[in-house]
Amino acid sequence: MNYLVSWLFETWKMAEAMAPWLLFGFAVSGLLHSFLPLGWIRTHLADNGLSGVVKAALIGTPLPICSCGVIPVANWLRKEGASRGATMSFLVSTPVTGLDSILATMAMMGGLFAGIRPVVAMVSGIAIGLVVSRMRVAGKESLQNPVSTCTDGCSSGPAGEMPSQLKVRAKTVPGRFREAFEYGFVELVADVAKWLILGLVVGGAISAFVPGDLLPGAGKFGMIGSYLLVLVIGIPLYVCATGSIPIAAALVAKGVSPGAALVFLIAGPATNVATIAFVGGTFGKRVLAVYLGGIAGIGLLAGILLDVFAPQVVMGHLHHHHGVDDPYAWISTLSAILLTALLLRPILGKIRFSKKESAMPQVTLTIPSITCGNCARHVDKIGRSVSGVIDVNVDVATKTAIFTGAFDANALKEKLAEDGYPPN
């Protein structure tokens, strides 16, 4: 029982630490979805080659978004048409550093660390993005570039424009904000809910059962051992770019080499169990292997080079920016409660619906013009607009859609045909 209580307690503490940033990420994604000019993502980030990957890294590196807050933003990019390579480049480069953490790194660890860190972040993002862009993937992984791979009627507009069906936005500012809320806190939350919950539970287990003195004592394992230890612990650990700085400074004070500290500064913020679950669940195991292998490999290489060419790094003074009592702790607690409600809502809704669904009739239609994620979204909206349809499940790979409810099948087929998606 004590182990269970400790696990739950650490899981909640992790939720409190991550929740404000996750909510921030969902809000940013929703606002970008509603206010960013239509076609901007396709124009700049749909390219699955070097151009899109580099642009994503350049955009992501200075942004002050942590490894959990970047999840909803990366998911939004994916849904809006960014290529696989560009999405992964953004996902890797963004959480490692930001303008705020660069300044904090300079103040606490000196200019060399402050300069190396964003360079490594950008190189990691570009390298991993390029590898992912060149991968031949199948199954669910092949669906992660929804707009740029669309070839039929849904992309018949001029280059750089979004499909005509998506050009329906609220005309008023309040309407745009309402759309932003619904997209960011309903649709995107539903997409990543199960992966975030899995990440929080696993992260809580790591915090509860991994000895607290293991990381500070890394120096006793020697240079190579300390590299590997901080890497193994840093990858699943949740720590933001700024929060990793005092930990890295403490590592050096404990006798760990500057290179090993740099490995932690890269691997720690770059990923955690939540992003690992998200990447694996969204892009598949092969992309996840590239993601983790690239972060680990480039982080180790950067650490080794630092120790070889600059073994005597002058450390700045260590400043503690937060006291023991955080006057803003209530914000984290309130955010965690809100996040929990948001994550459980789609899961509980599916459970309730599955109980009713078994007694409801279903119609499966083959729709050849379904070629991408956006087509799937259009078919979903069309189906739900027909009286009696209570649920729609679209499979892009098989070009089929399952409609659940008590409805007129002929009326559904006519509506689909009118909107450019005639079923066979």
Domain ranges of the chain: 2-342, 360-418
Instruction: Say what the pLDDT of residue 164 is.
Output: 34
Predicted confidence band at 151 (pLDDT cuts at 50, 70, 90)? very low
Instruction: Say what the pLDDT of residue 61 is.
Output: 86
Q: How many angstroms separate the CA atoms of 276 and 273, rounded?
A: 5
Pick the closest to residue 291 from 95, 113, 102 (CA basis). 95
Selected from 3.40.630.40, 3.30.9.10, 3.30.70.100, 3.40.50.300, the CATH number assigned to the domain covering 360-418 reads 3.30.70.100
Contacting residues for 35 by C-beta, under 8 A, at least 6 apart: 176, 180
Q: How many angstroms separate the CA atoms of 348 and 357, rounded?
A: 14
Q: Is 392 helix (H, G, I), strand (E, B) or coil?
A: strand
Q: How many angstroms separate the CA atoms of 405 and 412, rounded?
A: 11
Q: Does the pLDDT at position 148 exceed 50?
A: no
This prediction has a pTM of 0.61
Cβ atoms of 20 and 332 within 8 Å: the answer is: yes
Identify which of 136-140, 166-170, 284-288 has the greatest average pLDDT: 284-288
- Greater confidence (222 vs 333) lies with 333
- Greater confidence (142 vs 16) lies with 16
State the average pLDDT for the chain.
Answer: 78
Cβ atoms of 36 and 162 within 8 Å: the answer is: no
Helices (H), 81-187: 84-96, 99-109, 111-134, 173-182
pLDDT digits (tens, 9 = 90+) for 213-238: 666 566 666 778 888 888 888 888 77
Contacting residues for 185 by C-beta, under 8 A, at least 6 apart: 26, 27, 30, 342
Cα distances (Å, whole numbers) of residue 349 to 8, 125, 184, 195, 357: 24, 36, 18, 16, 12
Q: How many angstroms separate the CA atoms of 390 and 406, rounded?
A: 8
